[in-house]
Structure 1
Protein backbone atom coordinates (compact mmCIF):
# COMPACT_ATOMS: atom_id res chain seq x y z
CA UNK A 1 0.00 0.00 0.00
CA UNK A 2 1.53 3.36 -0.99
CA UNK A 3 2.31 5.86 1.75
CA UNK A 4 0.01 8.89 2.13
CA UNK A 5 0.91 11.82 -0.13
CA UNK A 6 1.55 15.24 1.41
CA UNK A 7 -0.19 17.99 -0.55
CA UNK A 8 -1.88 21.36 -0.02
CA UNK A 9 -5.31 21.12 1.60
CA UNK A 10 -8.41 22.09 -0.38
CA UNK A 11 -11.18 24.26 1.07
CA UNK A 12 -13.72 21.44 0.59
CA UNK A 13 -11.64 19.31 3.01
CA UNK A 14 -11.58 21.71 5.97
CA UNK A 15 -14.38 19.94 7.86
CA UNK A 16 -12.67 16.57 7.50
CA UNK A 17 -9.32 18.10 8.49
CA UNK A 18 -10.96 19.50 11.64
CA UNK A 19 -12.30 16.01 12.46
CA UNK A 20 -8.82 14.43 12.09
CA UNK A 21 -7.33 17.26 14.18
CA UNK A 22 -9.91 16.68 16.92
CA UNK A 23 -9.45 12.89 16.93
CA UNK A 24 -5.67 13.26 17.14
CA UNK A 25 -5.91 15.86 19.93
CA UNK A 26 -8.38 13.65 21.83
CA UNK A 27 -5.96 10.70 21.46
CA UNK A 28 -3.49 12.61 23.68
CA UNK A 29 -5.93 12.31 26.58
CA UNK A 30 -5.99 16.10 27.03
CA UNK A 31 -9.49 16.67 25.65
CA UNK A 32 -12.77 14.91 24.98
CA UNK A 33 -14.43 14.79 21.58
CA UNK A 34 -17.46 17.06 21.27
CA UNK A 35 -19.44 18.92 18.67
CA UNK A 36 -18.35 22.13 20.39
CA UNK A 37 -14.64 21.30 19.99
CA UNK A 38 -15.19 20.23 16.38
CA UNK A 39 -17.02 23.47 15.57
CA UNK A 40 -14.21 25.50 17.15
CA UNK A 41 -11.56 23.67 15.12
CA UNK A 42 -13.54 24.12 11.90
CA UNK A 43 -13.78 27.87 12.55
CA UNK A 44 -10.13 28.05 13.54
CA UNK A 45 -8.94 26.47 10.29
CA UNK A 46 -10.67 29.14 8.23
CA UNK A 47 -9.47 31.95 10.53
CA UNK A 48 -5.87 30.73 10.59
CA UNK A 49 -5.73 30.39 6.81
CA UNK A 50 -6.85 34.01 6.54
CA UNK A 51 -4.03 34.86 8.99
CA UNK A 52 -1.33 33.15 6.94
CA UNK A 53 -1.44 29.40 7.51
CA UNK A 54 -0.21 27.13 4.73
CA UNK A 55 -2.31 24.02 5.34
CA UNK A 56 -1.26 20.59 4.11
CA UNK A 57 -2.71 17.12 4.44
CA UNK A 58 -1.40 13.60 4.22
CA UNK A 59 -3.78 12.06 1.68
CA UNK A 60 -4.22 8.29 1.88
CA UNK A 61 -6.13 7.51 -1.31
CA UNK A 62 -8.69 10.22 -0.57
CA UNK A 63 -8.75 9.82 3.22
CA UNK A 64 -7.14 12.55 5.33
CA UNK A 65 -4.51 10.77 7.44
CA UNK A 66 -2.93 13.88 9.00
CA UNK A 67 -2.87 17.67 8.94
CA UNK A 68 0.07 20.04 8.94
CA UNK A 69 -0.23 23.81 9.39
CA UNK A 70 2.77 26.04 8.76
CA UNK A 71 3.15 29.78 9.07
CA UNK A 72 6.07 30.19 6.68
CA UNK A 73 6.76 33.95 7.15
CA UNK A 74 7.12 33.37 10.91
CA UNK A 75 9.14 30.12 10.45
CA UNK A 76 6.47 28.45 12.57
CA UNK A 77 5.32 24.84 12.56
CA UNK A 78 1.91 25.54 14.08
CA UNK A 79 0.08 22.20 13.95
CA UNK A 80 1.08 18.63 13.16
CA UNK A 81 -1.65 16.12 13.95
CA UNK A 82 -1.75 12.51 12.76
CA UNK A 83 -5.08 10.69 12.85
CA UNK A 84 -5.18 7.88 15.43
CA UNK A 85 -5.44 5.15 12.76
CA UNK A 86 -2.15 6.38 11.24
CA UNK A 87 -0.14 6.96 14.41
CA UNK A 88 2.99 4.87 14.92
CA UNK A 89 3.66 4.52 11.17
CA UNK A 90 6.34 7.27 10.82
CA UNK A 91 3.85 9.63 9.18
CA UNK A 92 4.78 12.37 11.67
CA UNK A 93 8.43 11.97 10.69
CA UNK A 94 7.46 12.23 7.00
CA UNK A 95 5.48 15.42 7.71
CA UNK A 96 8.41 16.86 9.64
CA UNK A 97 10.79 16.06 6.75
CA UNK A 98 8.36 17.85 4.42
CA UNK A 99 8.28 20.81 6.82
CA UNK A 100 12.07 21.01 6.65
CA UNK A 101 11.81 21.40 2.86
CA UNK A 102 9.55 24.43 3.45
CA UNK A 103 11.67 25.93 6.25
CA UNK A 104 15.11 24.43 5.66
CA UNK A 105 17.24 26.58 7.95
CA UNK A 106 15.21 27.24 11.07
CA UNK A 107 11.74 26.81 12.56
CA UNK A 108 9.85 27.23 15.79
CA UNK A 109 6.97 25.35 17.40
CA UNK A 110 5.20 24.98 20.67
CA UNK A 111 3.32 22.15 22.27
CA UNK A 112 1.31 21.56 25.40
CA UNK A 113 3.51 20.59 28.36
CA UNK A 114 1.18 17.72 29.29
CA UNK A 115 1.56 16.23 25.79
CA UNK A 116 4.82 14.57 26.79
CA UNK A 117 4.75 12.11 23.88
CA UNK A 118 4.81 15.04 21.42
CA UNK A 119 7.51 17.17 23.01
CA UNK A 120 9.77 14.21 23.67
CA UNK A 121 9.42 13.30 19.97
CA UNK A 122 10.32 16.84 18.90
CA UNK A 123 13.38 16.75 21.17
CA UNK A 124 14.48 13.46 19.57
CA UNK A 125 14.01 15.16 16.18
CA UNK A 126 16.50 17.89 17.10
CA UNK A 127 14.29 20.65 18.50
CA UNK A 128 15.75 22.58 21.44
CA UNK A 129 13.56 23.69 24.34
CA UNK A 130 13.57 27.48 24.85
CA UNK A 131 10.88 28.39 27.40
CA UNK A 132 7.50 27.62 28.95
CA UNK A 133 4.62 30.06 28.97
CA UNK A 134 0.88 29.90 29.71
CA UNK A 135 -1.29 30.30 26.59
CA UNK A 136 -4.02 32.77 27.64
CA UNK A 137 -6.56 31.51 25.09
CA UNK A 138 -6.76 28.01 26.60
CA UNK A 139 -4.84 28.02 29.90
CA UNK A 140 -2.36 25.33 28.82
CA UNK A 141 1.31 25.67 29.70
CA UNK A 142 3.13 25.62 26.37
CA UNK A 143 6.69 24.45 25.75
CA UNK A 144 8.44 26.49 23.06
CA UNK A 145 11.05 24.89 20.81
CA UNK A 146 13.43 25.93 18.04
CA UNK A 147 15.19 23.90 15.38
CA UNK A 148 18.15 25.15 13.37
CA UNK A 149 19.84 23.34 10.52
CA UNK A 150 23.12 21.93 11.78
CA UNK A 151 26.14 23.84 10.50
CA UNK A 152 27.89 22.16 7.56
CA UNK A 153 31.23 20.71 8.46
Structure 2
Protein backbone atom coordinates (compact mmCIF):
# COMPACT_ATOMS: atom_id res chain seq x y z
CA UNK A 1 0.00 0.00 0.00
CA UNK A 2 1.42 3.37 -1.00
CA UNK A 3 1.31 6.44 1.20
CA UNK A 4 -0.69 9.44 0.05
CA UNK A 5 1.41 12.20 -1.51
CA UNK A 6 1.22 15.64 0.08
CA UNK A 7 1.01 18.31 -2.61
CA UNK A 8 -0.49 21.75 -3.24
CA UNK A 9 -4.26 21.69 -3.82
CA UNK A 10 -5.64 22.62 -7.22
CA UNK A 11 -8.58 24.98 -7.67
CA UNK A 12 -10.60 22.24 -9.38
CA UNK A 13 -10.36 20.20 -6.15
CA UNK A 14 -11.79 22.78 -3.77
CA UNK A 15 -15.29 21.31 -3.74
CA UNK A 16 -13.95 17.84 -2.95
CA UNK A 17 -11.66 19.27 -0.28
CA UNK A 18 -14.74 20.89 1.28
CA UNK A 19 -16.45 17.48 1.38
CA UNK A 20 -13.41 15.87 3.06
CA UNK A 21 -13.30 18.75 5.57
CA UNK A 22 -16.99 18.33 6.39
CA UNK A 23 -16.77 14.54 6.79
CA UNK A 24 -13.77 14.86 9.08
CA UNK A 25 -15.41 17.64 11.15
CA UNK A 26 -18.60 15.60 11.44
CA UNK A 27 -16.53 12.61 12.63
CA UNK A 28 -15.64 14.63 15.76
CA UNK A 29 -19.29 14.55 16.83
CA UNK A 30 -19.42 18.35 16.99
CA UNK A 31 -21.58 18.85 13.90
CA UNK A 32 -23.97 17.06 11.58
CA UNK A 33 -23.45 16.79 7.85
CA UNK A 34 -25.66 19.09 5.82
CA UNK A 35 -25.77 20.81 2.47
CA UNK A 36 -25.58 24.12 4.36
CA UNK A 37 -22.37 23.15 6.19
CA UNK A 38 -20.83 21.83 2.99
CA UNK A 39 -21.63 25.02 1.09
CA UNK A 40 -20.15 27.14 3.89
CA UNK A 41 -16.92 25.13 3.99
CA UNK A 42 -16.55 25.23 0.21
CA UNK A 43 -17.04 29.01 0.23
CA UNK A 44 -14.63 29.38 3.12
CA UNK A 45 -11.87 27.55 1.23
CA UNK A 46 -12.00 30.08 -1.59
CA UNK A 47 -12.21 33.02 0.83
CA UNK A 48 -9.31 31.80 2.98
CA UNK A 49 -7.08 31.20 -0.04
CA UNK A 50 -7.69 34.81 -1.05
CA UNK A 51 -6.71 35.78 2.51
CA UNK A 52 -3.40 33.92 2.47
CA UNK A 53 -3.96 30.20 2.97
CA UNK A 54 -1.51 27.77 1.41
CA UNK A 55 -3.71 24.71 0.86
CA UNK A 56 -2.33 21.20 0.55
CA UNK A 57 -3.91 17.79 0.13
CA UNK A 58 -2.87 14.23 0.83
CA UNK A 59 -3.52 12.57 -2.54
CA UNK A 60 -4.03 8.79 -2.45
CA UNK A 61 -3.90 7.87 -6.13
CA UNK A 62 -6.46 10.52 -7.05
CA UNK A 63 -8.51 10.37 -3.83
CA UNK A 64 -8.19 13.29 -1.45
CA UNK A 65 -7.42 11.68 1.90
CA UNK A 66 -6.80 14.86 3.90
CA UNK A 67 -6.45 18.62 3.77
CA UNK A 68 -3.89 20.92 5.35
CA UNK A 69 -4.23 24.69 5.38
CA UNK A 70 -1.29 26.81 6.47
CA UNK A 71 -1.08 30.57 6.80
CA UNK A 72 2.67 30.92 6.45
CA UNK A 73 2.97 34.69 7.13
CA UNK A 74 1.19 34.18 10.46
CA UNK A 75 3.07 30.92 11.23
CA UNK A 76 -0.34 29.29 11.58
CA UNK A 77 -1.39 25.71 11.04
CA UNK A 78 -4.98 26.70 10.34
CA UNK A 79 -6.67 23.42 9.37
CA UNK A 80 -5.68 19.76 9.40
CA UNK A 81 -8.50 17.36 8.60
CA UNK A 82 -8.19 13.68 7.65
CA UNK A 83 -11.05 11.90 5.90
CA UNK A 84 -12.65 9.31 8.21
CA UNK A 85 -11.55 6.40 5.99
CA UNK A 86 -7.91 7.47 6.48
CA UNK A 87 -7.98 8.26 10.19
CA UNK A 88 -5.79 6.15 12.46
CA UNK A 89 -3.15 5.55 9.77
CA UNK A 90 -0.62 8.25 10.85
CA UNK A 91 -1.65 10.55 8.00
CA UNK A 92 -2.16 13.42 10.45
CA UNK A 93 1.39 12.91 11.72
CA UNK A 94 2.68 13.00 8.13
CA UNK A 95 0.81 16.24 7.48
CA UNK A 96 2.16 17.74 10.69
CA UNK A 97 5.70 16.76 9.67
CA UNK A 98 5.09 18.47 6.34
CA UNK A 99 3.82 21.59 8.13
CA UNK A 100 7.06 21.63 10.12
CA UNK A 101 9.04 21.71 6.86
CA UNK A 102 7.09 24.85 5.91
CA UNK A 103 7.38 26.47 9.35
CA UNK A 104 10.47 24.80 10.81
CA UNK A 105 11.06 27.01 13.84
CA UNK A 106 7.64 27.83 15.22
CA UNK A 107 3.93 27.59 14.51
CA UNK A 108 0.61 28.31 16.12
CA UNK A 109 -2.77 26.66 15.93
CA UNK A 110 -6.15 26.74 17.55
CA UNK A 111 -8.52 23.90 18.24
CA UNK A 112 -12.11 23.69 19.42
CA UNK A 113 -12.06 22.91 23.16
CA UNK A 114 -14.70 20.18 22.77
CA UNK A 115 -12.54 18.40 20.19
CA UNK A 116 -10.54 16.72 22.93
CA UNK A 117 -9.13 14.02 20.67
CA UNK A 118 -7.51 16.69 18.47
CA UNK A 119 -6.05 18.93 21.16
CA UNK A 120 -4.71 16.00 23.15
CA UNK A 121 -3.00 14.78 19.96
CA UNK A 122 -1.44 18.20 19.38
CA UNK A 123 -0.18 18.22 22.96
CA UNK A 124 1.43 14.79 22.42
CA UNK A 125 3.03 16.23 19.28
CA UNK A 126 4.76 18.97 21.27
CA UNK A 127 2.32 21.88 21.10
CA UNK A 128 2.01 23.93 24.27
CA UNK A 129 -1.31 25.37 25.41
CA UNK A 130 -1.33 29.17 25.65
CA UNK A 131 -4.92 30.39 26.18
CA UNK A 132 -8.64 29.89 25.55
CA UNK A 133 -10.94 32.38 23.86
CA UNK A 134 -14.43 32.34 22.41
CA UNK A 135 -14.48 32.57 18.62
CA UNK A 136 -17.19 35.19 17.90
CA UNK A 137 -17.95 33.86 14.40
CA UNK A 138 -19.15 30.46 15.66
CA UNK A 139 -19.38 30.61 19.46
CA UNK A 140 -16.86 27.80 20.04
CA UNK A 141 -14.30 28.11 22.80
CA UNK A 142 -10.94 27.77 21.09
CA UNK A 143 -7.74 26.48 22.68
CA UNK A 144 -4.62 28.21 21.34
CA UNK A 145 -1.33 26.34 21.02
CA UNK A 146 2.26 27.10 20.05
CA UNK A 147 5.04 24.81 18.89
CA UNK A 148 8.70 25.77 18.80
CA UNK A 149 11.58 23.75 17.45
CA UNK A 150 13.78 22.49 20.22
CA UNK A 151 17.31 23.73 19.99
CA UNK A 152 20.16 21.79 21.46
CA UNK A 153 22.72 23.54 23.58
CA UNK A 154 26.20 23.52 22.09
TM range (shorter): over 0.9
What are the residue-to-residue correspondences of 1:71-82 with 2, within 5 Å?
Answer: 71-82=71-82
For residues 111 and 26 of structure 1, what CA distance do their matches in structure 2 show? 15
- In the alignment, which residue of structure 2 is the partner of 1:138? 138
What are the residue-to-residue correspondences of 1:3-14 with 2, within 5 Å?
Answer: 3-14=3-14
For residues 67 and 142 of structure 2, what CA distance do their matches in structure 1 show? 20
- In the alignment, which residue of structure 1 is the partner of 2:123? 123
**Structure 1 unaligned spans of 5+:** none
- In the alignment, which residue of structure 2 is the partner of 1:85? 85
For residues 123 and 42 of structure 2, what CA distance do their matches in structure 1 show? 29
Off by >6 Å, runs of 4+ in structure 1 = none
State the superposition RMSD in angstroms.
Answer: 0.4
SS at match of 1:138: coil
> How far is the alpha carbon of 1:99 from its aligned partner?
0.2
For residues 152 and 144 of structure 1, what CA distance do their matches in structure 2 show? 26
- In the alignment, which residue of structure 1 is the partner of 2:97? 97
Deviation string, structure 1 residues 36-58 (Cα, Å, up to 9, x no partner): 00000000000000000000000
For this pair of structures, how many residues does the alignment match? 153
For residues 85 and 107 of structure 1, what CA distance do their matches in structure 2 show? 28
For residues 95 and 43 of structure 1, what CA distance do their matches in structure 2 show? 23
> How far is the alpha carbon of 1:152 from its aligned partner?
1.8
SS at match of 1:38: helix
- In the alignment, which residue of structure 2 is the partner of 1:112? 112
